[in-house]
Amino acid sequence: MPDGVFTPSATFGLAIGRVGTNQRLGADKRSGRGIHPVRNVWPRNRPRWNQPAPWNRQTFRTGFKPRPAQVLLKIISAPHTGFSPSFRHHQYGTHPGATLHFNPSNNNNRRPRVTTPNASQPNLPKKTVGKGTAIAIALAICGPITALKAEPNATAGNAHSMDAIGSVPFDIPAQDLAGALAAFAAQSRVQVLYEGSIARGLRSRGLQGSYPPDQALQILLATTPLQARHTDKKTVTLEPRPTPSGSDAGGGNTLGKVTVSARVIDDPKAYQVTHAATATRTDTPIMDTPLSIQVVPKVVMDDQQVVSLKEGVQNVSGVQWSPVQGNLYENFVIRGFDGANSLARNGIRESALATDLANIDRVEVLKGPASILYGRIEPGGLINRVTKEPLFQPYYALQQQFGSFDLYRTTVDATGPLNDQLAYRVNLAYQSNNSFRDYINNERIFFAPSITWRPTDRTELGLTLEYQHDNMRWDDGLPAIGNKPANVPINLYLGDSVSRDEQDRKLVDFHWSHEFNQDWKINQRFVASLVDYKQFNILPWNLEADNRTLNMYLWDSRQERNTYSQNINVTGHADTWGAQHTILAGFDFYKFDQPGVSPSMSAALPNF
């Protein structure tokens, strides 16, 4: 365990709601979809629309929907250096209200202080949407248990020194300077600003151990011609070191005027993400990419308590969920095109079978025909799920969720180093829930261990295994008469109680990468996904006009869905006549195999 302060924290949340209609704030009444045109920005006052809980899968789109209650208990254990219990009132999602801060480590700050959102943040909507109301209360408690190493005092004479933050555990391998600065910002929570061209072609020797952020940044910049200038305690700007001339070699150095075009390193706790590799398969800023891409970061999914991909992409414009075979498949319509073959995992295509999000770090959505970069898929776009990676810094989290309709969900996330070259990560999830529909109950078990090996500073290998078991009942919704839903109760299940779906999914993911030099790199990934599933369902086909006669059909299927895919990419940087280029060359392979037995479809369906 690295030096520092080891701090557990607990978070408790409660949401209370009642029945509401499907009317949505700022929504198109004809389509029912919310209008939220802001690109890649996730405002904290985004309204939480009246809609079923994430586990309410098959409510009819124009019917009344129960508003659930949720309870969240989360325990996190990770290196931490402060104490900040907070009390927040949330309405319509994650808009911040008043926050209470208290720091017992500072003897001069014994009195709590209350802060509110600054005036630039929009106010909460005063209008009640439809008939639904929601109130959420969260309480976070965290505090140092034992200090493994005394924290140094702030550097004297530097009003903006970061040393007041205390020692922070760092695990930054030797790599290009841009990557090292990104890791430094993520691990120290310090914002780094610099002009992209001054870091081009530079490398950092890396950093291991606990250091004050000031000292850590000096070590990272030791082999570069750059220096750091403090803007405040949490922000630094990088600039070239002054070069002494012959006239002032004997005196002090005079720094000339420097114009800085700032690049902000992504904050892992921020709603806005500036970099995504899905669009170009390279580390290109989103603002420099002439394509439409939106990112749903982990913090958004945590704040919204997202447990399925359907709920995650509700934040993305132009993407709609299209239900297929109950909860067994994840199918989406992207810009009007069916996206059944437009799902990817770490840039590699995968089948549309529903997978758990316990091992997902963020979701990147590429919209438009640029998705052809990933092979033969629909021109609407691509949904790419980026998985979590092992960390060389210990982190442990246990989360328990309770909800209406007997929802119970437990997740475990543990990661840390085994030695200087090996790191592990284990994600575990268990979920059990019923539904607002009678006789619908689902159960899921998910387990994903992974390991990373760094034999040298330029080489990395990784292996991830995933296992998922689903035991569920197919909810086929309500039948329609013409273009209207049948006049039956929304909780009525029209199938047979013997209906059942089972799925076993096993996945192997092996990847490696190697840097030849500062400009050229090669990486390869191979994924094998083996799925066995069986279905036995007696389901409604249609309800006749007399509103009494229901036609049923039998679906009995035993199948396998096996996919094998791999890609290999070579990326490099080159300059020609003053222009800078990023070069990508690669090869993809994808194979889908589905042996099994399923019923033939014909017009002669049995009536029960």
Q: DSSP states of 491-539 as a string? A: T---S-TT-EEEEEEEEEEEEEEEESSSS-EEEEEEEEEEEEEEEEEEE
Report the distance separating Cα 336 and Cα 448, nearest Å: 34
Q: C-alpha angle 351/352/357, rounded to 5°?
A: 100
CA atoms in the 13 A half-sphere facing the CB of 488: 23
Domain of residue 591, CATH code = 2.40.170.20
Site of tokens 């992207």: 334
- Give me the amino acid identity at 243: T
Same-domain pairing of 158 and 52: no
Report the distance separating Cα 131 and Cα 147, nearest Å: 51
Of 93, 126, 150, the residue at which a domain comes to its end is: 150
Most confident of 188-202, 406-420, 464-478, 486-500: 406-420
Of 125, 150, 175, the residue at which a domain comes to its end is: 150
Of 222, 240, 258, the residue at which a domain comes to its end is: 240
Model pLDDT for residues 81-114, shown as the tens digit of each residue: 333 333 333 333 333 333 333 333 344 444 444 3
Residue 564's pLDDT is 93
Same-domain pairing of 70 and 161: no
Same-domain pairing of 53 and 134: yes
pLDDT over threshold 80, residue 599: no
Same-domain pairing of 131 and 236: no
Same-domain pairing of 99 and 162: no
Q: C-alpha angle 81/82/88, rounded to 5°?
A: 140
Structure tokens at 159: 């009003």
Model pLDDT for residues 287-329, shown as the tens digit of each residue: 888 888 889 998 899 888 888 888 889 889 989 887 766 667 7
Q: Total structural domains in the chain?
A: 3
Answer yes or no: are the C-beta atoms of 52 and 19 closer than 8 Å: no
Return the higher-pLDDT residue of 49 and 334: 334
Same-domain pairing of 409 and 517: yes
Same-domain pairing of 104 and 161: no
Report the distance separating Cα 577 and Cα 397, nearest Å: 51
pLDDT over threshold 60, residue 170: yes
- At 6 the three-state DSSP class reads strand
Residue 121 included in any domain:
yes
First to last CA, the chain: 64
Containing domain of residue 195, as a range? 154-240
Most confident of 91-95, 446-450, 539-543, 591-595: 446-450
pLDDT band at 455 (very low <50, low <70, confident <90, very high): very high
Q: Is 397 left (phi over 0), alpha (psi -120 to 50) or beta?
A: beta
Residue 325's pLDDT is 64
Residue 327 included in any domain:
no
Model pLDDT for residues 481-531, shown as the tens digit of each residue: 778 887 888 888 888 888 888 989 999 999 999 999 888 999 999 999 999
- At 298 the three-state DSSP class reads helix
* Cβ atoms within 10 Å, residue 511: 19
Residue 19 included in any domain:
yes
Report the distance separating Cα 445 and Cα 56, nearest Å: 19
Most confident of 187-191, 364-368, 423-427: 423-427
578 φ, ψ to 5°?
85, -5
Residue 503 included in any domain:
yes
Handedness of CA 283, 286, 289, 294 (dihedral sign): positive
- Pick from 168, 193, 169: which is nearest to 181 by CA? 193
Residue 38's pLDDT is 33
pLDDT over threshold 60, residue 605: no
Same-domain pairing of 159 and 187: yes
- At 393 the three-state DSSP class reads coil
Answer yes or no: are the C-beta atoms of 586 and 521 closer than 8 Å: no
Model pLDDT for residues 394-453, shown as the tens digit of each residue: 999 999 998 888 899 999 999 999 999 999 999 999 999 988 888 888 999 999 999 999
Same-domain pairing of 134 and 169: no
Radius of gyration (Cα) for the chain, nearest Å? 27
Report the distance separating Cα 7 and Cα 544, nearest Å: 63
Residue 312 included in any domain:
no
- At 373 the three-state DSSP class reads helix
Same-domain pairing of 225 and 114: no
Same-domain pairing of 448 and 577: yes
Domain of residue 217, CATH code = 3.55.50.30
Answer yes or no: are the C-beta atoms of 221 and 179 closer than 8 Å: no
pTM, to two decimals: 0.60
Same-domain pairing of 448 and 569: yes
Alpha helices in 207-297 (DSSP H): 213-220
pLDDT band at 161 (very low <50, low <70, confident <90, very high): low
- Give me the amino acid identity at 129: V
